[in-house]
């Protein structure tokens, strides 16, 4: 029982989240009395579910007294609880401001053909993205938002729809370029750390972008290109240049990029 998908996911909830899920279950699934009853019995063991299997007989006797198919009913109810818990966690996710939430809301507005809400929220999402810290995901997100601008039923309301299409193409190229550099860094780093001999012909030559959009993120491109030089050639001058630039622009970088670059610097030092 403790190995069920519901229990495995339930273990990840802290005390506050467990209480919130109980309220969610009570308010939105009032008719599922069996699921609520079983959860109430399970919740008492939170967060220690290691010995829940020993409670199975007691739970079956309490919730499904004298039923021949009690074990099957319990299994089905745990499956239902797993679905409800997934929905609860998704609900928590979309109540927090995020790019995923913005896209989902745009989809809602588009489906309901609410032109003013769609265009207003789209512009807010674009403005918010421009204020985000530099990362390769900026270009992918920018591509998606411009794609939604051009390929929408409200395109006739745009002042310059061709600009949105151009920004789509530029962002896609820049996402490809920066992500390709990052992945190439990781491939060579793994080869160095694990001393793996492999055929790296699948790594295509890296193009050099001259897009104006790159100027805003020139530091990020410079850091990863310098890092690739360091990983491939292992020269002290590249380490010094990367370390100094990394320190100088630390506040500008996303958490993921900080972790990546710091990790590569440490590997070289070791």
- Each residue of 89-99: pLDDT tens digit? 999 999 998 99
- Each residue of 101-157: pLDDT tens digit? 999 999 999 999 999 999 999 999 999 998 888 788 999 999 999 999 898 888 887
pLDDT of 226 over the 70 cut:
yes
Range name among 26-30, 47-51, 119-123 with the lowest pLDDT average: 47-51
- Please count the CA atoms within 13 angstroms of the CA of 190 that sit on its side-chain side: 8
* pLDDT at residue 245, as a whole number: 93
Sign of CA dihedral 195, 258, 221, 137: positive
Cis peptide leading into 47, omega within 30 of 0? yes
Give the model's confidence band at 60: pLDDT under 50 very low, under 70 low, under 90 confident, else very high: confident
pLDDT of 217 over the 90 cut:
no
What is the mean pLDDT of the segment spanning 146-175? 87
Give the model's confidence band at 77: pLDDT under 50 very low, under 70 low, under 90 confident, else very high: very high
What is the mean pLDDT of the segment spanning 241-267? 91
Tell me how far apart the alpha carbons of residues 190 and 1 are, in angstroms, rounded to a whole number.
40
Tell me how far apart the alpha carbons of residues 35 and 1 are, in angstroms, rounded to a whole number.
15
Helices (H), the chain: 5-10, 15-28, 33-43, 56-63, 70-94, 99-111, 115-130, 136-150, 161-194, 218-233, 236-248, 255-269
Give the model's confidence band at 213: pLDDT under 50 very low, under 70 low, under 90 confident, else very high: very low
pLDDT of 191 over the 70 cut:
yes
Give the model's confidence band at 214: pLDDT under 50 very low, under 70 low, under 90 confident, else very high: low
DSSP 133: P
């Amino acid at each position: 029982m403790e190995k069920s998908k519901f229990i495995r996911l339930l273990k990840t909830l802290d005390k506050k989240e467990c209480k919130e899920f109980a309220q969610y279950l009570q308010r939105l699934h009032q008719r599922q009395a069996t699921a609520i009853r079983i959860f109430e019995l399970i919740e008492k063991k939170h967060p220690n579910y290691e010995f829940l299997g020993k409670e199975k007989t007691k739970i079956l006797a309490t919730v499904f007294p004298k039923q021949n198919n009690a074990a099957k009913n319990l299994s089905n109810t745990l499956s239902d609880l797993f679905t409800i818990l997934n929905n609860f966690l998704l609900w928590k996710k979309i109540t927090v401001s995020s790019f995923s939430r913005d896209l989902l809301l745009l989809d809602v507005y588009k489906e309901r053909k609410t032109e003013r809400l769609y265009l207003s929220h789209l512009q807010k999402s674009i403005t918010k993205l421009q204020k985000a810290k530099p990362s390769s995901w900026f270009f992918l997100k920018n591509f998606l938002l411009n794609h939604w601008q051009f390929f929408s039923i409200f395109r006739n309301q745009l002042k310059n729809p061709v600009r949105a299409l151009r920004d789509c193409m530029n962002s896609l190229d820049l996402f490809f370029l920066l992500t390709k550099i990052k992945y190439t860094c990781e491939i060579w780093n793994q080869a160095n750390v694990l001393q793996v001999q492999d055929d790296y012909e699948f790594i295509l030559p890296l193009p050099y972008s001259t897009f104006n959009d790159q100027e805003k993120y020139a530091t990020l491109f410079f850091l990863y290109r310098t890092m690739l030089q360091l990983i491939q050639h292992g020269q002290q001058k590249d380490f010094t240049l990367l370390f100094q630039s990394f320190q100088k622009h630390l506040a500008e970088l996303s958490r993921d990029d900080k972790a990546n670059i710091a990790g590569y610097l440490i590997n070289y030092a070791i």
